[in-house]
Amino acid sequence: MRTRDARVVYLVLESATALLQATVWTTAAVYFISEAHLGPLQLVLLGTVMEVSILVFEIPTGIVADAVSRRRSVLLGTTLMGAALVLTGALPSFPALLGAQALWGLGYTFTSGATEAWVAGEVGDQAVGPLFLRAAQYASLAAALGIGLSVGLASLELWLPLVAAGALQLVLAGWLALAMPETGFRPVPRERRSTWRHLVRTAGGGLAAARRNRVLLALLVVALFAGMSTEGIDRLWELHLLRQVGLPALGQLSPVIWFGVIQLAGLGLAATVIGPARKQVDTSDPRALCRLLLVLTIIEAATMIAFGLAGSFGLAVAAFLGYGGVRGLREPLYGRLDRAHDPAPPGAGHRAVDRRPGRRGRRGPGRPHDRPGGRPDQPWPRHRGRRDRAGPGRCRPRPPVHPDQPAPGRRAATA
């Protein structure tokens, strides 16, 4: 019997998700490189397959959440993601890993937005905001614990974090089946559901808005090149440290500990420096904001180049953390400038074009437990409940979602 309070279930779900994602992604690349013997192209292809899977299945799985049951959608997604992680750890061959990444992407689309829409329907619009904030705090702590758990397990066997996290996610799915209530769900009418036709229409509207507004067009171009420039470092920074720079010896300890240290350093940097600095920036003057973004973009590019050319471990880590910190500050400011020139309300118009598949599964500094979603700089859109991916464990509170609204993860207005 499902007698657990929805608030408790949601807090457990978000905390466990942050813990398990940190457990997986802190050392996953080391497993891919050392156990599966993947090269740079194969590492990038893994991420590409995952993102394409999410893009393809986002609309069909959104219909399940909107028309059948958000609870069932979350349960199915959690189960598929757990199975994909077990498969990833058990079969270190490239074809099997590609299949596992596609399966994980499919599972994620069942949970994308459905989780937030479910809890909003259960607890109500007034209570959901504080609940999201509390979940963000718990997720931050859980992510830090997950980093330690990942390093500890990987020090024994590199496949252990993946298999253990997958098994625990399957256990989580079983617990949710017993504890997760659903009393506030009402199917979304057919005409309000997200469809591919809606996606094409909103994308066309976004491009039209960009053509009419030179600032929006410039922002769209910047987003395109920024996304392309970050793909390499997000997917390959562990490979660079392992094969080009080298990791300092730690006596009898496993060198994999360094990746946990780097992630924890990124976590601390985001919490103590980037977050407070972001609040001090004056965003009321668009021209000043543009100049600041130009400076930050130049610094970000410089730190990326410094990381690529670094010949010592200390310099490489310093450049990498600097890159992550500047990027974590730049992306929200870019989003604010984007919104200042957006002629449409949040969740509509050109943002359908701008929301790319995102940085799913990428393991940048301070983002060890990224759940797929999108940019940290976006407002709370009408259709998509997003996580802040610029910093570790900082899950952005979602807006109140009415039970009749489509699950805020559907691609109708969107990756």
Q: What digits encode the pLDDT tens for the residues 120-147? A: 889 987 888 889 889 988 998 999 999 9
pLDDT at 400: 37
Residues 58 and 131 in one domain: yes
Task: State which of 141, 169, 191 marks the end of a domain.
Answer: 191
**59: in domain:** yes
pLDDT at 64: 81
- How far apart, in whole angstroms, are the C-alpha atoms of residue 338 and residue 220? 9
**337: in domain:** yes
Judged against a pLDDT cut of 50, whether residue 413 lies above it is answered with no
**240: in domain:** yes
Judged against a pLDDT cut of 70, whether residue 39 lies above it is answered with yes
Query: What is the three-class DSSP state of 403?
Result: coil
Residues 61 and 183 in one domain: yes
Judged against a pLDDT cut of 50, whether residue 381 lies above it is answered with no
Task: State which of 156, 191, 226 marks the end of a domain.
Answer: 191
- Please write the tens of the pLDDT for every residue from 91-125: 999 999 999 999 999 999 999 888 988 998 899 87
Q: Which domain holds residue 248?
A: 198-354
pLDDT at 328: 82
- Please write the tens of the pLDDT for every residue from 146-161: 999 999 999 999 999 9
Residues 37 and 157 in one domain: yes
pLDDT at 268: 87
**Lowest-pLDDT choice from 97-111, 250-264, 277-291, 340-354:** 340-354
Q: What is the dihedral of CA 32, 37, 41, 46, to 10 degrees?
A: -30
Residues 279 and 183 in one domain: no
**384: in domain:** no
- How far apart, in whole angstroms, are the C-alpha atoms of residue 184 and residue 394? 27
Q: Which two tokens stand for residue 150?
A: 């990942």
Residues 6+ apart with CB under 8 A from 186: 121, 403, 404
Residues 57 and 178 in one domain: yes
pLDDT at 398: 36
Count of structural domains within the chain? 2
Longest dimension (CA), the chain: 63
For the segment 63-71, the average pLDDT, to the nearest whole number, is 84
For the segment 247-252, the average pLDDT, to the nearest whole number, is 84
The answer to whether 360 and 54 are in contact (CB under 8 A) is yes
pLDDT at 202: 58
Residues 118 and 166 in one domain: yes
The answer to whether 338 and 354 are in contact (CB under 8 A) is yes
Residues 328 and 216 in one domain: yes
**402: in domain:** no
Judged against a pLDDT cut of 50, whether residue 324 lies above it is answered with yes
For the segment 209-231, the average pLDDT, to the nearest whole number, is 70
Query: Mean pLDDT in the chain?
Result: 77
Judged against a pLDDT cut of 70, whether residue 359 lies above it is answered with no
Residues 274 and 178 in one domain: no
For the segment 278-301, the average pLDDT, to the nearest whole number, is 80
**Lowest-pLDDT choice from 168-177, 218-227, 320-329:** 218-227
**380: in domain:** no
Quick one: pLDDT band at residue 405, thresholds 50, 70, 90? very low
Task: State which of 191, 221, 254 marks the end of a domain.
Answer: 191
Residues 207 and 281 in one domain: yes
Quick one: pLDDT band at residue 4, thresholds 50, 70, 90? low
Residues 68 and 151 in one domain: yes
- Please write the tens of the pLDDT for every residue from 150-200: 999 999 999 999 999 999 999 999 999 999 998 887 776 665 555 556 656
Residues 262 and 169 in one domain: no
Higher per-residue confidence, 271 vs 370: 271
* CATH code of the domain covering residue 16: 1.20.1250.20
pLDDT at 192: 59
**pLDDT > 70: percent of the chain:** 70
**371: in domain:** no
Residues 185 and 63 in one domain: yes
**363: in domain:** no
- How far apart, in whole angstroms, are the C-alpha atoms of residue 146 and residue 148? 5
Query: What is this structure's pTM?
Result: 0.75
| Chain centroid to CA 243 | 27
